């Protein structure tokens, strides 16, 4: 697992814990960030990944709907949104336009629609409930993963409903699970500087905890590589690990790399690829109660997403089909993020891994194996 090089005693202790399947502490996690080499954390993370999932790497067939990029909030890191005062610079989709996007996939084997966007004051709880109902009426089996905690917080407060009441209302309309966006960095020292006006850490965690209590699964994210320090990353992951101990409701953790194009933090250099891989590996080691670790390929780029499969990652999201602008507008390598199923299978096989199509809740749909034809029509 770890080569026979001479290691500092604290790193030897961490390696022994991982080998024994024991939880590492916050102090251990900080030590990994401050003192461990890429090879060391990569080896440990890969051993955990293979213990959990063998050589399997998961993906799904999905597409995104982004109802609007008009937003009442002004997050410094965001290249995507346009303030409501300047809404003519953005887009606002009608329910019919979004339903037409769903209908474009009629007859295609997609399993999930992912719906997130800006916080628009006219797109309220009833508007989105109507959208969910119409999607379910048209395609009942399509899994709807929708809205970040930031969107929920605004919707529920405007509707004068509790988190539980609001979520129950949307579940009845067709909501199936919740994405992990809006977490950014939980620590108030950083959150106040980069996204002061939107829901705080306690609010984000409460929404996800309530969702879990109501039977919904969700994901969790962390925006890294800007003005945060290692201690802020550890604090963020600790809060997630504590909630997961309590609810077991998170499916996957998704580190999201800060991209610096066309936003108020463009003066900050982006993290290096080495730092990206170190973070993925350390997250896999620390978040021992999260079943999955995802590298979101439209954000990282497909080559780096492929590399992450050697650093604890077991999921690279889905086909996307050029339906998201969030990271391309921030300077991601993927200006038109779309991969066919054949592309994903090939990418995973090139990393000597085993491609497995999953649904949103990680039920296996098809194992494509490490070898075989990938030019059949159903893979496109």
DSSP assignments along 225-248, one per residue: SSS--HHHHHHHHHHHHHHHHHH-
Distance of CA 233 to the CA centre of its chain: 16
| pLDDT at position 83 | 55
For residue 103, how many other CB atoms are within 10 A of its CB?
A: 12
pTM of the model as a whole: 0.90
Please give the Cα distance from 115 to 83 (Å, whole number). Answer: 20
Question: Which residues, 6+ apart, have CB-to-CB distance to 86 below 8 Å?
Answer: none
Beta pairing class for 364-367 and 354-358: antiparallel
> Positive or negative CA dihedral for 31, 36, 38, 39?
negative
Q: What does each C-alpha distance from 82 to 66, 235, 257, 379 come to in angstroms?
A: 13, 30, 21, 37
| pLDDT per residue rounded down to tens, the chain (380 residues) | 554 467 899 999 999 999 999 999 999 999 999 999 999 999 999 999 999 999 999 999 999 999 998 887 766 666 555 554 455 567 899 999 999 999 999 999 999 999 999 888 889 999 999 999 999 999 999 999 999 999 999 999 999 999 999 999 999 999 999 999 999 999 999 999 988 888 999 999 999 999 999 999 999 999 999 999 999 999 999 999 999 999 999 999 999 998 876 666 777 889 999 999 999 999 999 999 999 999 988 888 889 999 999 999 999 988 866 444 444 443 444 445 578 888 889 999 999 999 999 999 999 999 999 887 665 545 54
Question: Which residues, 6+ apart, have CB-to-CB distance to 141 below 8 Å?
Answer: 111
| pLDDT at position 331 | 40
| pLDDT at position 165 | 98
Contact call for residues 82 and 89 (beta carbons, < 8 A): yes
């Amino acid at each position: 697992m770890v080569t026979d090089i001479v290691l500092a005693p604290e790193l030897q202790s961490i390696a022994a814990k991982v080998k024994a399947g024991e939880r590492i502490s916050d102090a251990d996690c900080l030590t990994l960030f401050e003192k461990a080499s890429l090879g060391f954390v990569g080896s440990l993370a890969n051993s955990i990944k293979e213990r959990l999932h063998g050589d399997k790497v998961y993906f799904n067939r999905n597409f995104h709907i982004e109802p609007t990029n008009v937003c009442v909030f002004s997050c410094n890191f965001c290249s995507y949104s346009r303030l409501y005062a300047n809404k003519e610079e953005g887009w606002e989709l009608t329910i019919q336009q979004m339903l037409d996007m769903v209908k474009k996939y009629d007859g295609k084997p997609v399993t999930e629609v992912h719906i997130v966007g800006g916080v628009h004051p006219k797109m309220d709880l009833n508007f989105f409930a109507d959208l969910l109902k119409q999607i379910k009426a048209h395609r009942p089996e399509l899994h709807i993963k929708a809205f970040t905690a930031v969107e929920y917080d605004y919707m529920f407060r405007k509707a004068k409903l509790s988190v539980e009441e609001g979520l129950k209302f949307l579940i009845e309309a067709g909501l199936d699970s919740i994405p992990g966006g809006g977490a950014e960095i939980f620590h108030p020292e950083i959150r106040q500087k980069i996204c002061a006006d939107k829901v705080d850490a306690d609010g984000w965690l409460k929404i996800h905890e309530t969702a879990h209590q109501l039977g919904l699964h969700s994901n969790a994210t962390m925006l890294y590589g800007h003005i945060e320090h290692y201690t802020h990353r550890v604090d963020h992951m600790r809060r997630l690990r504590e909630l997961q101990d309590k609810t077991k409701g998170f499916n996957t953790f998704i580190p999201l790399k800060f991209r610096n194009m066309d936003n108020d933090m463009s003066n900050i250099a982006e993290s290096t690829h080495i730092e990206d891989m170190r973070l993925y590996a350390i997250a896999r080691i620390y978040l021992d109660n999260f079943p999955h670790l995802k590298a979101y390929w439209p954000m990282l780029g497909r080559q780096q997403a492929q590399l992450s499969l050697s650093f604890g990652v077991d999921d690279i999201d889905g086909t996307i089909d050029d339906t998201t602008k969030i990271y391309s507008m921030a300077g991601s390598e993927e200006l038109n993020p779309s991969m066919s199923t054949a592309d994903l299978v090939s990418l995973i096989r090139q990393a000597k891994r085993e491609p497995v199509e999953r649904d949103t809740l990680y039920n296996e749909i098809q194992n494509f194996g490490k070898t075989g034809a990938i030019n059949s029509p159903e893979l496109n």
